[in-house]
Amino acid sequence: MNADEDQEPIEGLDLTSRPEQGSHYPLDDVMVRNETRTVGEVVKRIDQGRYAMNPDFQRDFVWPKDKQSKLIESCVMRIPLPVFYVAEGADGRVTVVDGLQRLSTFRSFLNGELRLQGLGKKHPLEGKSFKALPINLRERIEDTQLTMYILDKNAPDAARLDIFERVNSGIPLTRQQMRNALYSGPATRWLADFSEKEVFRNATGDSLQPKTMRDREAINRFCAFYLLDWTTYTAGDMDEYLAGALKLMNRRSFDFQQLEKHLLLSLNRNSTLFGRHAFRKSLIYGASDVGRSVINIALFDVLSVAFAKIDNNIFTRDSLPIKNAIINLMRDSEFNHYITYSTNATYQVHGRFRKMNEALGKFLK
């Protein structure tokens, strides 16, 4: 967990879970290949939009000008550079796993946005732009060889995340930040937009940290269990399950309007019945003046999905019985176990959804 992790803890978030059968992708398959490209070739591809160069987790992390300048100086001095890791997307675009700041520096310098500085007043490159350099030095920089390790687009979802986590040498990332980079597209953009909606922020009490994308992870979890159904969760692998939802949502024909409608409805209903205690174990007390507990992500899973499936007329007519059914469920020790311990395990996921469906059975569509 990194230093920027959630200011308020999240209960029921299983950070250590892995597939119940261990690594289930073939270890002998070639998932990473290496290619050599020049700085000039890569910058051209970046300018053509073939590289994803703006991951959200890098937005506030930019190299200072002197560090950028020393990278350019290294090219002039023919000093070998560390390797780059990139991941192929289904759409053919490439996401930079490790080396984003270096590639951004090359692009800025070749496009005239960077002047070299911090090299020393008497340094021959100090204050120079790319165009101000002699042609032989410009060509030397453009022809610098870059070793690219490319994560294959057909690699299993679990392997993609594991490799991303191992090779990334920049700022520590949460698994959702990795998913955001590896499955960039309409789905990740929608998650980002929805996470800023006042309805979502109010329902979750602003308790989910945007910087580490815990807010988007909660929304991603709703999408997975709502779209794929909890009965399809069979391997105990939350990473693969959430990635599956993103891939489904990235399809051209996906209807985001309907999904948003149901999630907004669910959040409003949870806020209406439980106020500031929504998605927290303290909802059992009901009173607004009682101290609220931390948000429970496993409780968010089941309540957000269940409340999205109740007919409007039924919810309006039976809101009090529905509220009482949830409060009674929270008194069930077995259900509490399902939303507290090893929450990514298949048995725990199925247990909490089964219990929720039993409690709300007559109210669900």
pLDDT at res. 20: 54
Q: Could you tell me what percent of the chain has a pLDDT over 90?
A: 68
What is the rounded (10 degree) CA torsion for 70, 73, 74, 78? 180
- Look up the pTM and report it: 0.82
Q: What is the mean pLDDT of the chain?
A: 90
365 pLDDT higher than 80: no
Least confident of 79-88, 157-166, 354-363: 157-166
Report pLDDT digits (tens) over 207-219. Answer: 998 988 999 999 9
pLDDT at res. 6: 42
Least confident of 70-74, 113-117, 202-206, 236-240: 236-240
Report pLDDT digits (tens) over 310-347. Answer: 999 999 999 999 999 999 999 999 999 999 999 999 99
As given in the structure block, the two tokens for residue 250 are 């990235």
29 pLDDT higher than 70: no
* Euclidean distance between CA atoms 241 and 99, whole angstroms: 28
* Euclidean distance between CA atoms 160 and 178, whole angstroms: 9
pLDDT at res. 2: 43
pLDDT at res. 90: 77
**What is the mean predicted confidence (pLDDT) over 2-27?**
61
Nearest to 246 by CA among 230, 222, 267, 266: 222
**What is the mean predicted confidence (pLDDT) over 69-81?**
97
DSSP letter string over 22-91? S--S-TTS--EEEEEEEHHHHHHHHHTT-EE---GGGTT----HHHHHHHHHHHHTTPPPPPEEEEE-TT
